Amino acid sequence: MNFQIEILIGAFIITTILALIIIPILTKLKVGQIERTDGPKSHLKKQGTPTMGGIIILLGTTIVTILATTYYYKHGDIIVARRIIPLLLVTGGFGLIGFIDDFRKLVMHDTEGLKPAYKMFGLLIISVMYILYLKNVLHMGTETYIPILKIYVRIPRSLYIIFAMFVMLGTTNAVNLTDGVDGLSTSVTTIIISCLVVIASKLGITEIITFGSIVCGANLAFLMFNLNPAKVFMGDTGSLLLGGIIASMSLYMKIPLLLLVIALIPVLETLSVILQVAYFKKTGHRMFKMAPLHHHFELSGWRENKVVSVFSLITLILCVIGLAII
Q: How far apart are CA 198 and CA 277, in angstroms?
A: 37
pLDDT at 272 over 60: yes
Q: How far apart are CA 236 and CA 299, in angstroms?
A: 24
Query: Quick one: pLDDT at residue 326?
Result: 86
> What tens digit of pLDDT does each residue of 58-116 get?
999 999 999 999 999 999 899 999 999 999 999 999 999 999 999 898 888 777 788 99
Do 50 and 23 contact (CB within 8 A), yes or no?
A: yes
Instruction: Give me the helix-helix angle, 206-226 and 184-203, nearest 10°.
Output: 160
Q: How many other C-beta atoms lie within 10 A of the C-beta of residue 26? A: 22
DSSP 226-287: HSSSPS---HHHHHHHHHHHHHHHHHHTT-GGGHHHHTHHHHHHHHHHHHHHHHHHHHSS-S
DSSP β-bridge partners for residue 144: 153
Q: Which residues contact 150 (CB under 8 A, 6 or more apart)?
A: 325, 326
Do 222 and 289 contact (CB within 8 A), yes or no?
A: no
Do 205 and 262 contact (CB within 8 A), yes or no?
A: no
Query: Quick one: pLDDT at residue 39?
Result: 58
Q: Phi/psi at 145 (nearest 5 deg)?
A: -75, 135
pLDDT at 210 over 90: yes
| Global pTM value | 0.93
Q: Which helix (H) or strand (E) holds 166?
A: helix 157-178
- Give the least confident one: 24-28, 123-127, 172-176, 210-214: 24-28
Q: Which helix (H) or strand (E) holds 140?
A: none
* Average pLDDT, integer, range 196-221: 96
Q: Phi/psi at 143 (nearest 5 deg)?
A: -65, 135
pLDDT at 306 over 70: yes
Query: Quick one: pLDDT at residue 218?
Result: 97
